[in-house]
Structure 1
């Protein structure tokens, strides 16, 4: 039987690339997303659900549907996230902090909470959580996002310990700066906050890696497929950066 893979925020960006890569590998794919327009543009081969991962009732309903339709789950890609505000910590509104935590950290928690019993029951499977290099380094002007992405690393390592005895692995993927619309928004907001141009901020991020470039969504997707496969059967509890090797997370130009 082919693997059954759920990908949150799977209708665009990194999640969409994951869905395409798992599909190409022969897996059955279920994408959950809040963006109905993006969902409507997904492959007809995929199951699709509109879900806000910060809403426990919605997440619980999704997993009941997966149980009914698929009879279980083999891989959870807890990928949903938002960029959060770009501001000095004293200028961050509590409401914006809470939204960032609700989606990035609580969303990963809720999906893991409802996936765990399924995975433990079959004594096999994998949980993959999308963090960020912001979860490995401090990032000025991104306190809510960095805090949430540090948080999911702690969640992932704990899940590896709890699920390992049941044959289930958990790993955390940390993308660096990824080409695409979301990063463009970050670049523009950071440029405004720092009094720089968008291109200056872009070059700063690129210069902060030893390979001197941004990564692409497919690079993250390829890592996800590998970590979910039998080739990584004893890889668990790891935090793996796919970032071109960050050597300076906040280079000064």
Structure 2
């Protein structure tokens, strides 16, 4: 890889895919600035800097991006991994307020972050952005509709930005994970299993059995795909939505 000396901003960096990606980019030589609502318990060595950020606060997003640009001189890479699952799984009982909350974080938050960083990259006429969506963005599902809809919005935002920023030598892509061994899936398994450890395990096993590769992804595997997309050698790749899901959308896998 050739990511040495890139200035990389990673949202959702305090855990899961965001943390794994920050670590991966650091290992490749990038200077990594993490953003999240809460700081990690102790700053890992792979974070050069950390900024607390609520992506639903448009003013804070604008000021944070401007501050990083002013301090570091550029933002070469953005990885937007911040997001939530939501609390109400059934469509017909999901409240409007819960739908709005999930959309505000996952969709509007992504729009604000990608827009502000996009303006920086447009001005510097270079850069690479990757947003974390989901395989759930690409198909109809009964459960967690606000999450699914919000991730579908992320896909379209990225496609639109790829069109807008292509002439400025800026690539914009999405990764679409299936089940990943993160706190989000632990939350799903707990709900599916009723909080009973045996039920949790059965829920995981049932979901893994639907995946052709027979297992969940590790965050590091998603991070590896993100690192590939943000490598300057691959800058001609744009407008992609890559499933990192072990074939989870094939046949019954979804």
Q: 1:3 matched to which residue of 2?
A: 6
Q: Indicate how the Cα distance of structure 1 residues 146 and 8 shifts in structure 2: closer, same or farther if over 3 A, else same.
A: same
Q: Cα offset for 1:183?
A: 0.9
Q: 2:43 matched to which residue of 1?
A: 41
2:57 is equivalent to residue 55 of structure 1: yes
Q: Indicate how the Cα distance of structure 1 residues 166 and 210 shifts in structure 2: closer, same or farther if over 3 A, else same.
A: same
Question: Whole-Å Cα distance in 2 between the matches of residues 86 and 56 of structure 1?
Answer: 25
Q: 1:155 matched to which residue of 2?
A: 157
Q: Cα offset for 1:249?
A: 4.4
| Residues 32-54 of structure 1, C-alpha deviations (whole Å, 9 max, x = no match) | 00113x26433375210100011
Contact 1:137–1:249 (CA<8 Å) still a contact in 2? no
Contact 2:125–2:169 (CA<8 Å) still a contact in 1? yes
Correspondences of 1:157-196 after superposition (within 5 Å): 157-192=159-194
Q: Cα offset for 1:79?
A: 1.0
Q: Cα offset for 1:116?
A: 1.2
SS state at 2:242 partner: strand
SS state at 2:79 partner: strand
Q: 2:128 matched to which residue of 1?
A: 126
Q: Provide the alpha-carbon RMSD of the alignment.
A: 1.8
Q: 2:246 matched to which residue of 1?
A: 244
Q: Cα offset for 1:28?
A: 0.5
Which of 91, 114, 128 is the matching residue for 1:89? 91
Q: Cα offset for 1:139?
A: 2.7
SS state at 1:197 partner: helix
Question: Whole-Å Cα distance in 1 between the matches of residues 156 and 46 of structure 2?
Answer: 36
Q: Cα offset for 1:201?
A: 1.9
Question: Whole-Å Cα distance in 1 between the matches of residues 103 and 253 of structure 2?
Answer: 22
Contact 2:174–2:239 (CA<8 Å) still a contact in 1? yes
SS state at 1:174 partner: strand
Question: Whole-Å Cα distance in 1 between the matches of residues 46 and 13 of structure 2?
Answer: 14
Which of 11, 14, 19 is the matching residue for 2:17? 14
Question: Whole-Å Cα distance in 1 between the matches of residues 75 and 171 of structure 2?
Answer: 13
SS state at 1:154 partner: helix
Contact 2:137–2:151 (CA<8 Å) still a contact in 1? yes
SS state at 1:188 partner: helix
User: Unaligned regions of 5+ residues in structure 1, if any?
Assistant: none
User: Unaligned regions of 5+ residues in structure 2, if any?
Assistant: none
Q: 1:111 matched to which residue of 2?
A: 113
Contact 2:26–2:46 (CA<8 Å) still a contact in 1? no
TM-score (norm 1): 0.92
SS state at 1:42 partner: coil
Question: Whole-Å Cα distance in 2 between the matches of residues 152 and 118 of structure 1?
Answer: 19
Question: Whole-Å Cα distance in 1 between the matches of residues 47 and 29 of structure 2?
Answer: 11
Contact 1:39–1:50 (CA<8 Å) still a contact in 2? no
Which of 30, 40, 62 is the matching residue for 1:27? 30
2:240 is equivalent to residue 230 of structure 1: no
Q: Cα offset for 1:86?
A: 3.8
Q: 1:100 matched to which residue of 2?
A: 102
Count of residues in Structure 1 that have an aligned counterpart in Structure 2:
247
| Residues 125-172 of structure 1, C-alpha deviations (whole Å, 9 max, x = no match) | 111010011112223221110000111011111110000011101000
